[in-house]
Structure 1
C-alpha cells in the first residue's frame, strides 16, 4: 500500500491552519493528495500558506474564522461545503496559551479566553462537524489537545483546564457517535517549536527556557512536522479502528 495515497482526495478542514502545527499538517496532507481547507483567525496567514501549497501542486483554500463565534464557525463550514460537498476530516487545532504564572496571578479574563478558544471553539466546530458527518455517512474529527490535558500542568492552569476539557469532549463524543461511522481522537503534544511556544520562550529567562526545552527525556522541543506526520496517519484509513483515544507525542515526558 502506498502510504502517501491514504489521504488522496480526502477533504480535510484545519482550524488554526495558518501557522505552527496546523500549517505543518496542511503541507503534509496536501503533499499526500488531500484537499485542505486552511481556516485561521489571521486570513492573511491562511492565504499565504494556500498560495504556497498551490504553487507546490497542492489543492487548498483559505477561510477566515474566529472559533469562539458560533456564526463564524457555521460560515466556515458553509465555505468548506462550497469547495466539496463532503468534509472527511476536521482537525480542531486553533488554540492559545497563557504566560506561565501561579493560578492566583492568572486573571479571570485570561482564564475565560483559554476556555473560549481552546474548549468552546472545539465544541462549536464539533457540533457542526458531527451534524454534517451524521448526514453524509461518517468522518473523523481530530482534536489537538496537549499533555497538559492528561496530567498536572503547574503554572499554566487555565490552559491545562481547557485541554482536559478537550479530552473529555473527545472521549464522550467518540462513544456517542461510534455507530454513526464517526471517529473522534485527540493528539496530545508536549512543547513543540511553534510560534506560540517561541512566544513563551521569549518572555522567560535562560533558566526558564532551558526548563521548557529540556522538559522531556529527549531534551528538545518537538518539531511541527513530527506532530503533522502523526495527524496525517490519523487522517488516513490506516487508523480506522481507533476512536476515543489520545495520541501522545511528548518525547517521553509522560513515560
Structure 2
C-alpha cells in the first residue's frame, strides 16, 4: 500500500512468528504500522522480532497460547498498557498439520486441541481485544481460514472442521459487531509456500514441480506476500464497505477441474 494509512496504527497478528503470519507482520510493519506478534513458539517469535527490528521496523513479540483464556486476557492487558488502541486484529494462529489418520484411529483429544487453537482462539482474541478495537477510528478483524474449509483430503477432520467453523464465525462476528462498527472479514489461502518464512531450524528451500505449478491457473504456488497484500487492503479504510466476507486466495486452484 503506497499511502500512509498504517502510520500510527497498531496491528496484532496471532501466530505471527512464522509462515503467513510473519509475511503479514513484515508487510504491515513496512506499511508503517506498529506490529505486535504473538506466538506460542518463543524461539520463532524472537527470531521474527529480530528480523523486523533489523529492518528498523516497529515490532513487539508477546508469548501467547491463544487456546488459553488466561493467556489471551494477559495478552490484551499487555497490549492495552502500551498502546492506546488496536486498529487491527489478525487471527492467524493455527495448528496446520491437517492429517489425523482414519476416523477409526482418530485421537479425540488431538481433534479438540486443533479446534481450541484454530477456532476457540480467534473467538477469545476477538472477545478480549474488543475494548481496544472500539477505541480505534476504523477497526477491523481479519480471520485467516483455508480453502480446506470448502474442500477436503481424506482424514483431515480437525483442521477442516476448525477452518469451516472460522468461516462461519467470521460472518457471525460481522453482523454482531456493528455498534460501533468493527468490520470482520476472512482470507482463505490455498497452497502457500512458507519454507523461507520459517524459523531457522525449520527453514527449507522450496522445490515445486511443473505439475505443482500447473495445478494453479496463475502458474505458480502462492507466497506469504500474496496473502499479506490482501490483508493490507482488508484491514484498511479502502475496504470500508466490505464486511462478513471471505476472499479465497489460491491462484485459481479451487476453480480448476483436475482429473487424476
Q: TM-score, normalised by structure 2?
A: 0.85
- 1:41 lines up with 2:43 in the alignment: no
For 1:14 and 1:88, the matched residues in 2 are separated by 11
Could you tell me which runs of 5 or more consecutive residues in structure 2 were left unpaired when the two chains were aligned: 203-208, 256-260
- The answer to whether the 8 Å contact 1:37/1:61 transfers is yes
Deviation track 1:115-137 (CA, whole Å, cap 9, x = no partner) reads: 11101111111111224324656
For 1:212 and 1:112, the matched residues in 2 are separated by 32
- The answer to whether the 8 Å contact 1:38/1:61 transfers is yes
In the other structure, the counterpart of 1:7 is: 6
- The answer to whether the 8 Å contact 2:98/2:160 transfers is no
Match of 1:230, SS state, is helix
In the other structure, the counterpart of 1:240 is: 240
**1:210/1:77 Cα in 2 relative to 1: closer, same or farther (>3 Å)?**
farther
In the other structure, the counterpart of 1:187 is: 187
For 2:219 and 2:54, the matched residues in 1 are separated by 36
In the other structure, the counterpart of 1:175 is: 175
For 1:252 and 1:96, the matched residues in 2 are separated by 24
For 2:68 and 2:83, the matched residues in 1 are separated by 23
- The answer to whether the 8 Å contact 1:191/1:222 transfers is yes
- 1:106 lines up with 2:97 in the alignment: no
Match of 2:104, SS state, is helix
Match of 1:47, SS state, is helix
Could you tell me which runs of 5 or more consecutive residues in structure 1 were left unpaired when the two chains were aligned: 203-208
Deviation at 1:210, TM superposition (A): 8.8
- 1:30 lines up with 2:29 in the alignment: yes
RMSD over aligned Cα, in angstroms?
A: 2.6
In the other structure, the counterpart of 1:206 is: none
In the other structure, the counterpart of 1:97 is: 96
- The answer to whether the 8 Å contact 1:191/1:250 transfers is yes
- The answer to whether the 8 Å contact 2:88/2:235 transfers is yes
For 1:106 and 1:219, the matched residues in 2 are separated by 36
Alignment: residue pair count: 245
Q: Higher helix fraction: Structure 1 or Structure 2?
A: 1
- 1:250 lines up with 2:250 in the alignment: yes
For 2:28 and 2:18, the matched residues in 1 are separated by 14
In the other structure, the counterpart of 1:165 is: 165
Q: TM-score, normalised by structure 1?
A: 0.86
**1:126/1:210 Cα in 2 relative to 1: closer, same or farther (>3 Å)?**
farther
In the other structure, the counterpart of 1:127 is: 127
Match of 1:123, SS state, is helix
Deviation at 1:72, TM superposition (A): 0.5
